[in-house]
Amino acid sequence: MRSNVINPVVVIQKAMQQVYLWMTAGLMVTGAVATTLYNSGAVKSLGPMMIVLLLVQIGVVFFLSARINKMAPTTATILFLAYSALSGVTLTPIFYAYTASSIGTTFFVTAGTFAAMALYGATTKRDLTGMGSMLMMALFGLMIATIVNIFLGSGLMSLVISAVGVLIFVGLTAYDVQSLTRMAHTVATEDDTQRFAIIGALKLYLDFINLFLFLLRFLGTGRRD
């Protein structure tokens, strides 16, 4: 007689696979939108609309995070992909600021760093909960420093902010992966799995994109044309 006991390790692995698949899908959507807009030059016509799109992005993140458990899985998925597309629009200007080769190099460095920290977060026996709280406080401080530097325009402060940003999102990647791995065993239904995959993908997507942008400050080569 076969046992109907479900292996929790298998449940966690399947749930986390879905998280990484949707995160990858989000990155692909972002890359496709950004590349298309850059090649067409359409983003130049947006002007002040970019600020509106940035605000919409922030709104989608907060809405999705707060309402994910009450949403239909399809709605959550559409919102995540819409957010990824919006990110593609707002990230297009980096193609005008940096060379394509340096953007590509930074992407692969980011991917390698992200993978290493994700592996650490998934395998370490150390409880990263306390570190997560400190990192969130540091992130809040970083946001304030960034706003202040908009008015100061200090190049040195900008580099310090970028360096701290790299450290914060390296740590958050490990923390988020550990947190998601621990949550994965609570997924009970197919709908729950999809919701978990989307909110997990959103967290890791944000970690990846922010890590990429901060690393780009150091590895990016400015365009001369």
Q: For residue 29, is pLDDT > 80?
A: yes
pLDDT of residue 7: 59
CA–CA distance, 20 with 15 (Å, rounded to integer): 9
pLDDT band at 5 (very low <50, low <70, confident <90, very high): very low
Average pLDDT, integer, range 63-91: 89
* pLDDT, tens digit (0-9, with 9 covering 90-100), for 171-199: 999 999 999 998 887 776 677 788 899 99
- State whether residue 41 is helix, strand or coil: coil
At 144, list the tokens: 């304030």
Q: Which residues contact 5 (CB under 8 A, 6 or more apart)?
A: none
* pLDDT, tens digit (0-9, with 9 covering 90-100), for 139-159: 999 999 988 988 888 888 999
Average pLDDT, integer, range 103-124: 96
pLDDT of residue 6: 55
State pTM to two decimals: 0.90
Q: Specify the range with the lowest mean pLDDT, choosing from 38-42, 90-94, 128-132.
A: 38-42
Question: Closest Cα partner for 69 from 198, 158, 182?
Answer: 198
For 9, 16, 193, 194, 197, the CA distances from 22, given in Å and listed in that order, are: 20, 10, 12, 10, 7
Give the mean pLDDT of the chain: 88
Q: For residue 86, is pLDDT > 90?
A: yes
